[in-house]
C-alpha cells in the first residue's frame, strides 16, 4: 500500500534529518529512504511506518494513501509501547532534556493509541 503524501512530506520537511528520524524510529536510514521513495511498499500495519509516524508526529491513520489502518493487534500495541519506553530510557540516560521532553510526548501519544478503548486494549 502506498504511503500518503502527508507522511512523505512530513518526513522530507521535518526539521530533523532523515537519518535522525530513522534512528529514533529504530530503522536503518536506507530502509526509511526505500519507504519514502516508494522502492519498498509497506503493509497497512507496518510497524516501521508506525514508528516513523510517532517520530514525526503523525497519527497512524495519516500514514497511508488509500485506506485506513486496520485495528492494531495486542502484539503491535506491546511493540509500540516497548519501543517508546526504550527511546525514553535512552533519552533519560543521555541527560538530554530536550530529547526527554520529545520522548515524553511520544510516549504519551503511544500510550493513548495503544490503550484507546475504541480499538481494544491491553489488560
Nearest to 111 by CA among 82, 71, 68: 82
Q: Are 35 and 53 in contact (CB under 8 A)?
A: no
Instruction: Work out the burial of residue 3: count CB atoms within 10 Å of its CB; fewer than 13 is exposed, 13-18 middle, 19 or more buried.
Output: buried
Closest of 44, 45, 58 to residue 106, by C-alpha: 58
CA 52 to chain centre: 3
Q: What is the number of other CB atoms lying within 10 angstroms of the CB of residue 112?
A: 9
Range 74-80 average pLDDT: 81
Q: Could you tell me which of 37, 36, 11 has the C-alpha nearest to residue 24?
A: 11
**Residue of higher predicted confidence among 99 and 7:** 7
**In the chain, domain spans:** 5-57, 74-114
Enter the DSSP assignment of 70: P
Over residues 20-76, the pLDDT tens digits come to: 999 999 999 999 999 999 889 898 889 999 999 999 999 888 898 865 556 677 887
What's the pLDDT at 52? 95
Question: What's residue 117's pLDDT?
Answer: 43
pLDDT for 120 beyond 50: no
Task: Read off the pTM.
Answer: 0.55
Amino acid at each position: 500500500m502506498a504511503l500518503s503524501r502527508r507522511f512523505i512530506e512530513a518526513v522530507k520537511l521535518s526539521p530533523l534529518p532523515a537519518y535522525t528520524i530513522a534512528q529514533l524510529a529504530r530503522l536503518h536510514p536506507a530502509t526509511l529512504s526505500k519507504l519514502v521513495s516508494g522502492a519498498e511498499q509497506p503493509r497497512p500495519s507496518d510497524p516501521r511506518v508506525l514508528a516513523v509516524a510517532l517520530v514525526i508526529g503523525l497519527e497512524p491513520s495519516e500514514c497511508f494513501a488509500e485506506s485506513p489502518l486496520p485495528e492494531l493487534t495486542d502484539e503491535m500495541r506491546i511493540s509500540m509501547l516497548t519501543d517508546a519506553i526504550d527511546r525514553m530510557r535512552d533519552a533519560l540516560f543521555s541527560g538530554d532534556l530536550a530529547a526527554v521532553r520529545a520522548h515524553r510526548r511520544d510516549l504519551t501519544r503511544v500510550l493513548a493509541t495503544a490503550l484507546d478503548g475504541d480499538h481494544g486494549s491491553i489488560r
